[in-house]
Amino acid sequence: MKVIAVLNQKGGSGKTTIATHLARALQLDGSDVLLVDSDPQGSARDWGAVQEDNPLTVVGIDRPTIDRDVKNVARKVDFVVIDGAPQAADLAVSAIKAADFILIPVQPSPYDIWAASDLVDLVKQRIEVTDGQLQVAFVVSRAIKGTRIGAEVNEALAGYELPVLDARVTQRVIYPGSAATGTTVLDSEPDGEAAKEIRALMSEIKEKLI
């Protein structure tokens, strides 16, 4: 079992969109997947409840025992994807302890890049404790194609000395549209550009985990 935690303590970074889509992409790729909603607001659980026959299993663990609880509820799955909670440091620490891979979505905005500082400090502490076994990467989220700041975000993130994935998730109307119906872009437009970028994200993460 591999645990991927999608974390950013700043709201609006696209965590739930990425977590739900990444979980569904892994499932469509042939893996058994559990999506864990660690946000007390329950956005991923709300998404999962829209469709009675949602193919993804979504469970809520919004207490600072995620690292222990995940082991109990997800023994037989291939991947656990954790949708992280904003602002709650104790929940972030617990999710970090549970994770094999931490994905940090960040919007291409100076404010969002600066706001990642506290989370990066927590992650680097965990990397030291695990002797470098924990893997971490940024993913640029809600990028607007053709904008100058989107092209410069890698340089801005370089100061954190953590990898930035090549895959990006761009700002597209189809993402909130699919969320409203409890699906993903992989289901509504499997051959579309949004689905391609989600599959690219999944593939890049799997390459790092295998």
Q: Which CATH number is 204's domain given? A: 3.40.50.300
Q: What is the 3-state secondary structure (H, E, C) of 59-98?
A: EECCCCCHHHHHHHHCCCCCEEEEECCCCCHHHHHHHHHH
Mean pLDDT, the chain, rounded, equals 94
- Stretch (H or E) spanning 123: helix 117-129
DSSP string, 8-66: -SSTTSSHHHHHHHHHHHHHHTT--EEEEE--TT-HHHHHHHHSTT-SSEEEE--STTH
- Domain carrying residue 65: 2-209
Q: Which two tokens stand for residue 68?
A: 């222990």
Instruction: Provide, rounded to the nearest whole percent, the portion of the chain with pLDDT above 70.
Output: 98
Instruction: Provide, rounded to the nearest whole percent, the portion of the chain with pLDDT above 90.
Output: 83
Question: According to the model, what pLDDT value does residue 149 have?
Answer: 65
User: Which of 12-16, 25-29, 188-192, 200-204 has the least mean pLDDT?
Assistant: 12-16
Confidence of residue 138 (pLDDT cuts 50, 70, 90): very high
Say whether pLDDT at 4 is over 80: yes
Question: According to the model, what pLDDT value does residue 73 have?
Answer: 86
**DSSP E strands, 95-134:** 101-106
DSSP-derived 3-state class of residue 181: coil
pTM: 0.96
Number of domains in the chain: 1
Q: How far apart are CA 208 and CA 210, in angstroms?
A: 6
Burial of 30 (0-12, 13-18, 19+ CB in 10 A): exposed
Say whether pLDDT at 151 is over 70: no
Q: Are 81 and 103 in contact (CB under 8 A)?
A: no
Q: How far apart are CA 66 and CA 103, in angstroms?
A: 16
Question: According to the model, what pLDDT value does residue 25 have?
Answer: 98
Between 148 and 24, name the one with better pLDDT.
24
